[in-house]
Chains A and B, each alone.
Chain A
Amino acid sequence: MTNEALKLKKKSSRKRRENKRRATSALLVLPIYLFTIAFVVGPLIYMIILSFMTRAEVWGVERIFTLDNYKNIFSEVYFGTFKQSLKLAFISTLAVIVLGYPYGYYMARTSPSWQRRLMSMQMIPFWVNSLIRLYGWIIIFRANGLLDKLLMAIGLTKEPLKLLYTYPTVVVGMVYVLLPFMIYSVYGSAEKLDWSLVEASRDLGASPVKAFITVTFPLTLPGLLTGIVLTFIPSMGLFFIADILGGNKVVLVGNLIQEQLMKVHNWPFAAALSVVLMILTSVLIYIYRRVARVEKLMGDGANENKDKDKEKEMGRGV
């Protein structure tokens, strides 16, 4: 057999193998198809359908179409909660940006070994159950707790401040739990930033502030937006933070959903609330994707996968 023929034979056998492989591959993805359709797509579709159904008199759901659940959200009582929750989400996200952006930015400017060290140092608490971390704040903030003791010892205050079960404490808890998401997102963007661009703008006479606003900030914007996506919506749903640190004073959409499900048993209403949260999430993700696409067009496609992995790595954990 000539070399040529051998090559040809090898090629055709590869092709045949390729087809066979495609068939086996179909088998390989079968489990994830089944699981995703049965336990991700199914539930989500049911949630949407349920949000248009009527609550039964005593228990359960009746299959009568209605828009009342959505109207209900805008009724005075619930809309108040929604607004309060949005406001808290807004404040928390703002605080997370103010604290987390500089951290991610400075972290990316340290030496690679310090970047790794800081990353693990942030990672470990992030992995620790948020309940445990919140419990630490309870010990610190409770009346006659650590903070009160400390402040009274210094002489700043004379009596316990009774900080636990107040609004600011809930904000502290939220910020504390959500901060790592912002730090990773901003760091992810700042780390792959081409600092020579910043230097170039400085060399061309831009002031540090101007260089930051015109070069650094736009290039780290996708990271910032990822951070916002990962903090804003969850901060409306983290009902246990409001529960543990806020007593009954702070009510989030999350608390409302939980209450409607477990206590009031108005499932269609809980479903409608969830649909609204999902829509808000999608809007934020859409904005993020638009901005990320602009960045990709600027020639950063190679880093896209890396970015996605990072983003997903921190996808959860709260």
Chain B
Amino acid sequence: MNVMATSNEEKTPKRKRSRKSTFPTFYLSLLTILTYVPIAVVVVYSFNESKISSVWDGFSLRWYKELFQDPAMFRALFISILLGVSSCLIAAVIATLAAIGFPKAKLPGSKLIEYLSSAPIIIPEIVLGMVFLVYFSLLKLPFGMTTLIIAHTSFCIPYIYMEVKARLIGLDESYYEAARDLGASSIRAFFDITLPLIMPAVISGMFLSFAMSFDDVIISVFVTGVNTDTLPIKVYTQLKTSTTPKINALCTLMLTVTVFCYVMSYVFSRIGKRNIKTQKEREHEEAIRKA
């Protein structure tokens, strides 16, 4: 596709091409920069000495110090991490088993269940939050960590499921069959062959869903208990009332965690895709040679 596009561009006269390509470049850069402006502003002002965020009083780590001396913040951080880790671990088990099982299990309604299990990321968050709130009170579940974990697990499952499913589709069935033909039990073949091959996808999906859980406000607001405010809930309530640069410092830290998760998810999905990709590239090269 792209090969074609570039070769076609080469055919057109140079003058025309340069005039044509200025606007897209300008537009892409402008919008990309604008995307980063608010984030940059938050980060820069977290190092501001002044209490008023529109006055620059020089570089300082004062707000980070204050942040680290705030036990409530640490509690919120602890809750956020505990919540993210437990829901993405539970989701990883459920989703990975399902991704392996669904293609083979010809159970009634398996297509429907597969579709419904991804509903939590299609349903508007506000509806999901509302639904969980009323449903949990119907079940008389005490609001707190349990309800938070159930709610977060529900939207972590689809992310991991999709990653693993995509990986399984690209996987060569014959490795597993070979292991079985050579006498390995199905459990052994799974742990020795299938699991190592899909592990990068599982980990990539887990980082992705951890980041989603770590960032969630809307659903958490509805299902949280008295003593289980997560970091985003803390940020939300503070933004509604008063803002000190302490929030900037908190936001900058959260941002670091998120970017880290993103990079890790990306790295692991690359590891997983590398083999498939080279195969594709080989095919592509062959096609070119034939042509």
- The complex places the Cα of A240 from the Cα of B239 at a distance, in Å, of 10
A118→B98 CA distance, assembly (Å)? 33
Is there contact, CB below 8 Å, between B53 and A47?
no
A151 within 8 A of B: no
7 contacts across the A-B interface (CB closer than 8 A): A43-B135, A123-B262, A124-B259, A127-B262, A128-B255, A196-B4, A278-B123
Interface string of A171-201 (1 = CB under 8 A from B): 0000010010000000000011111100100
Please tell me which one of the listed residues A22, A32, A196, A309 contacts residue B162 in the complex, with CB atoms under 8 A apart.
Answer: A309
Contact residues, A243-259 vs B (CB, 8 A) = 243-244, 253-254, 257-258
B258 interface residue, CB < 8 Å from A? Answer: yes
**A318 vs B243: C-alpha distance when bound (angstroms):** 22
The reply to whether B36 and A46 form a contact with Cβ atoms under 8 Å apart is no
A140 at the interface (CB under 8 A from B): yes
- Give residues of chain B (62-80) contacting chain A, Cβ–Cβ below 8 Å: none
Mark the stretch among A69-77, A107-115, A211-219, A293-301 that contacts chain B. A107-115
Determine the chain A residues whose CB is within 8 A of the CB of B85 once the complex forms.
none
Which single member of A31, A132, A277 contacts B124 (CB below 8 Å)?
A277
Partner of B240, one of A26, A191, A244, A278: A244
Report the nearest B residue to A112, measured CB to CB.
B2
CA distance A14 to B174 in the complex (A): 12
Contact residues in B for A277 (Cβ distance below 8 Å):
124, 126-127
| Contact partner, B37, options A136, A254, A261, Cβ 8 Å | A136
From the candidates B125, B153, B232, name the one contacting A129 in the complex (CB within 8 A): B232
- Asked if A146 contacts B154 (CB within 8 A), the reply is no
Does B222 lie at the interface of the complex (its beta carbon under 8 Å from any beta carbon of A)?
Answer: yes
Task: Specify which chain A residues have a CB less than 8 angstroms from the CB of B102 in the assembled complex.
Answer: 25, 29
6 tightest A-B contacts by CB? A136-B38, A28-B101, A237-B126, A25-B105, A25-B104, A315-B121
Determine whether the beta carbon of B31 is less than 8 Å from that of A103: yes
Given the known interface contacts A102-B27, A125-B39, the answer about A199 and B95 at a Cβ–Cβ threshold of 8 Å is no
Q: How far is the CA of A318 from the CA of B124 in the complex (A)?
A: 10
Residues of chain A contacted by B42 (CB below 8 angstroms)? 132-133, 135-136, 139
Known: A129-B232, A254-B126. A140 touches B38 (CB 8 A): yes
Interface residues of A in 221-277 (CB under 8 A from B): 233-234, 236-240, 243-244, 253-254, 257-258, 261-262, 267, 270-271, 274, 277
Question: Which range contains the number of B residues in contact with the other chain?
Answer: 35 or more
A37 partner residues in chain B, CB cutoff 8 A: 113
Q: A20 to chain B: which residues have CB within 8 Å?
A: 186
CA separation between A126 and B172, bound complex, in Å? 33
Binary per-residue interface labels of chain B (142-172) against chain A in the complex, 1 for a CB within 8 Å, 0 otherwise: 0000000010011101110110001001000
Q: Does B197 contact A (CB under 8 A)?
A: no
Q: Does B107 contact A (CB under 8 A)?
A: yes
B100 to chain A, nearest CB (A): 6
- The answer on a CB contact under 8 Å between B28 and A103 is yes
User: Is B235 among interface residues, defined by CB-CB distance under 8 A?
Assistant: yes
* A132 with B254: CB separation less than 8 A: yes
| A contact residues vs B (CB 8 Å cutoff) | 10, 14, 17, 20-22, 24-29, 31-33, 35-37, 39-44, 46-47, 50, 99, 102-103, 106-107, 109-112, 118, 120-125, 127-140, 142, 144-146, 149, 176, 179, 191-196, 199, 233-234, 236-240, 243-244, 253-254, 257-258, 261-262, 267, 270-271, 274, 277-278, 281, 285, 305, 309, 312-313, 315-318
B102 to chain A, nearest CB (A): 6
Q: Are B31 and A312 in contact (CB under 8 A)?
A: no
Of the candidates B101, B133, B181, the one having the most CB atoms from chain A within 10 angstroms of its own CB is B101
Contact among B8, B53, B94, B166 for A195, CB-based, below 8 A: B8
A228 to B277, CA, bound (A): 31
Q: B126–A317 contact, CB under 8 A?
A: no
Contact across chains for B251 and A281 when beta carbons are under 8 A apart: no
Residue of B nearest to A275 (CB): B127
> Which residue of chain A has the shortest Cβ distance to B125 in the bound complex?
A237
Apart from the given pairs A22-B104, A118-B32, 14 other A-B contacts in the complex at a CB distance below 8 Å: A28-B97, A31-B97, A42-B135, A120-B266, A127-B259, A129-B255, A130-B215, A139-B45, A191-B1, A233-B124, A253-B126, A254-B126, A257-B130, A262-B222
Closest to A47 in B: B131
The chain B residue sitting closest to A260, CB to CB, is B130
Q: Which residues of A contact B41 (CB under 8 A)?
A: 136, 139-140, 146
Chain B residues positioned under 8 Å from A318 (CB to CB): 125
State how many angstroms separate the Cβ of A184 from the closest Cβ of chain B. Answer: 13
| Given A195-B5, A237-B127, A312-B121, A135 and B239 contact (CB-CB distance below 8 Å) | yes
Min distance, Cβ B123 to any Cβ of chain A, angstroms: 7
The yes or no answer to B116 lying at the interface (CB within 8 A) is yes
* From B104, B131, B247, B262, contact of A274 by CB (8 A): B131
- Give A123's nearest chain B residue, CB to CB: B262
Convert B241-259 into 0s and 1s, putting 1 for each residue whose CB lies closer than 8 angstroms to a CB of A.
0010001100100110011
Docked CA distance A254–B221 (Å): 13
User: CB < 8 Å: which of B1, B113, B119, B254 contacts A194?
Assistant: B1
With A and B bound together, what is the CA distance between A262 and B6 in angstroms?
Answer: 57
